[in-house]
Amino acid sequence: MADTEFLVAHGLRKAFGPFQAVDSVSFTISQREIFGLLGPNGAGKTTVIRMMSTVLKPDDGHISIGGFSVTADSDSVRKLIGVCPQELALYPELSATDNLVFFGRMAGLNGRQARESARENLERVGLQDRARDRVEQFSGGMKRRVNIAIALMSRPQLLFLDEPTVGIDPQSRNHIFETVENLRDEGMTVLYTTHYMEEADRLCDRLAIMDHGSIIGLGTPRELKSEIGNPDRVTLEDVFLEYTGRRLRD
């Protein structure tokens, strides 16, 4: 197993002022794995992704992706990853194609490659018919899909999906699941964060439950479920509430 570990994170810590947002987080993700990072609002999921995607420096700890250190060799890491942020990080005034082409070119593709890749990726997320329309005219679910398609433009080996399904209908959500599963089948490694337990249960090979900046549970969905009861009876939601408590967050 060790030789296929694509991402290794060890002892990650990050504080914002006096507030410890991430505290001693360690986990590994194997190649072709969909790894879920679950946790209530403010648990520190996005902060972990920002550190892994080279935009935020950890206070302590080490991350390597594809054998490259995220801090020491961030340029090499950036060539391997694609990030779909929690926000819709795109230009609503531009068409779907223009958005994809722009980010593709910024990632180093030339004009022709970028246009070709944009076409492929829009097809992948089912937006080929709306390619020329401005993103601001899209529904929430369509915008989310554009957000994902942009992350695919650099042909990453590791894809970070930070809550890609917030606020969208079951059809769009289902489409996104299928897209993620297809990507995994094609060899991509995925880190996926979500609040939706049934989503994690369906998609993730392994998952970590985070709360208050620390990982409090780690394993396959079945392993986690069997820790609190009969894995065929309990849901991941039960596991989550068992671990994180029922108190309201944020």
Partner 1 sequence: MALVLRQAFLIASKDTRIFFKDRFAMAFAFLFPFIFIVGWSAALSGQGPRDEPLDITLVTQEEEGISLSVIEELSQSVYASVSTRPYDDALAALQDGEIDGFVVFPADFTQKIVSGASTSLGVVVNDDNPDAEAALSGFAQEVAGRFTEAQIAFRAAADLAAQPQGELQAEPPDRTSAEFDSDTAPTVGLVLERVGDVVPFRASNFTLPAYLTMFVFFSAALSAEAIARERQNQTLERLMSNGTRRESIVLGKFIGTAYRSAAQLVVMWLAGILLFDIYLGTAPVAVIAISVLMALASAAFGVLLASFVRSVQAAGSAGVLTSLVLAPIGGCWWPLFIAPQWMQSLAKLTPHGWANGGFNKLMLFGAEAGEVTQELGALVAFAAAFLAIALWRFRTAAQ
Ligand X SMILES: Nc1ncnc2c1ncn2[C@@H]1O[C@H](COP(=O)(O)OP(=O)(O)OP(=O)(O)O)[C@@H](O)[C@H]1O
- State the burial class of residue 188 (Cβ atoms within 10 Å of its Cβ: 0-12, 13-18, 19+): buried
For residues 175 and 178, give the distance between their C-alpha atoms in angstroms, rounded to a whole number: 5
Residue list 77-106, contact with Mg ion (CB under 5 A): 86
| CA 188/CA 33 separation, integer angstroms | 8
Q: Give the chain's end-to-end CA distance (angstroms, integer).
A: 38
By a kind-dependent CB cut-off of 5 to 8 A, residue 102 interacts, out of partner 1, Mg ion, ligand X, none, with partner 1
CB 25 within 8 A of CB 9: yes
DSSP letter string, 225-237: HHHHS-TTTS-HH
Please report, as residue ranges, which positions from 118 to 157 form the binding site for partner 1 (by CB under 8 A).
Answer: 134, 150, 154
Q: Rounded distance, CA 104 to CA 226, Å?
A: 43
Nearer to partner 1, 15 or 234 (CB): 15
Q: Which structure tokens are listed for 49?
A: 């992704």
Shortest Å distance, C-beta 49 to Mg ion: 8
Look-up: residue for tokens 């606020």? Answer: 167
Could you say which residues in the range 20-49 bind partner 1, by CB under 8 A?
none
Which of 4, 16, 67, 198 is in the footprint of partner 1 by CB under 8 A? 16
Binding site for ligand X (CB under 6 A): 16, 19, 21, 39, 41-47, 86
Residue 46 binds to Mg ion (criterion: CB under 5 A):
yes
Annotate each residue in 84-123 with x if it binds partner 1 (CB under 8 A) or - if it does not, as one string. -xxxxxxx-xx---x---xx-xxxx---------------
Q: Of the listed pieces 28-36, 54-62, 190-198, 204-212, which binds partner 1 according to CB under 8 A?
A: 54-62
Among 28, 45, 58, 78, binds partner 1 (CB under 8 A): 78
What gap in Å lies between CA 238 and CA 92, rounded to an integer?
39
Q: Which spans of this chain sit near partner 1 (rule: CB under 8 A)?
A: 16, 50, 53-56, 75, 78-79, 81, 83, 85-91, 93-94, 98, 102-103, 105-108, 134, 150, 154
